[in-house]
Structure 1
């Protein structure tokens, strides 16, 4: 199987995407090192060939651009996520956080039937390979503070402001 990847630019957003024939498997802000994507994909799919192909990734990029234009609140593209069963549960729970709302790590832990696993949920959220589409930016600390985000806290603030109709 081949993993296709490319970089996209939309206004002041730059990002990298990768997908298999089954769906999107990686999305990341551009400012992270290019070797982060390669390292992640090699770890998750060690025997797969990587090829750059912008055309294959255009439908995924289009959804992200619509989101940044405030014309999309839900992503419908297929995803192909590699992770442990626990991570898969957490990532599925993240997809159910409504646009413009936030939840805590404890809320996610309770929603997957593991009320004492907030720290493990935090680790799974941090391992999310598809930023924005799997909306880990909507998870905040129990005291309401913004917590870590692969794209940085400034990006997290911008994404939450966008979803609250405050622009970016």
Structure 2
């Protein structure tokens, strides 16, 4: 992942099987990707020009084409520059190592990230960073679940999260919405 100034910003829409995806890029990296129903960084978008042919948007489009054709591209194949605190960037970097079609829990990620420092990290802190991921799908926040198979938190809603996981071949039968369980 890159870090640094954005320079000129460009955006475009990508028509996908999930609906219209909004991409935002600088001249050097993809900086935003929002799926239908996700909250868009309107402040950053207001600084951008609509342009369908910017090089980083083309790379984003190519990545998405390959993803939706089942070719399993990795986040490392495209320059990414998500904007956020050092902690959030560290969590997003860690998410990029979750393989296609596999799941990890917030707790697993927290334990792994805390281990080198000899301390502890809360799953909620990781969840907060995951929830602010500005490059959905490519930085695979949809592959993170709560303890005991709980499908918790997804900016585009749990139905979209399930749909993406199914698209990747994840068996979602044992995953559940804990809020729905409480309301039954």
TM-score range, shorter chain: 0.7 to 0.9
Q: Quote the RMSD (CA, aligned, Å).
A: 2.0
Matched, 1:37 2:37: no
Match of 1:52 in 2: 50
Structure with the larger strand share: 1
Matched, 1:20 2:26: yes
Match of 1:158 in 2: 163
Poorly superposed stretches of 4+, deviation over 6 Å: none
| d(CA) in 1 for partners of 2:60, 2:95 | 18
Matched, 1:111 2:109: no
Aligned residues: 158
Q: How far does residue 155 in structure 1 lie from its aligned partner after superposition?
A: 1.2
**Maintained 8 Å contact 1:63/1:72:** no
State the SS of the aligned residue for 2:21: strand
State the SS of the aligned residue for 2:41: helix
Q: How far does residue 32 in structure 1 lie from its aligned partner after superposition?
A: 4.2
Match of 1:144 in 2: 149
Tell which structure's C-alpha radius of gyration is larger: 2
TM-score (norm 1): 0.85
Please identify, of 108-117 and 144-153, the stretch whose mean Cα deviation from structure 2 is larger: 108-117
Match of 1:45 in 2: none
**Maintained 8 Å contact 2:37/2:155:** no
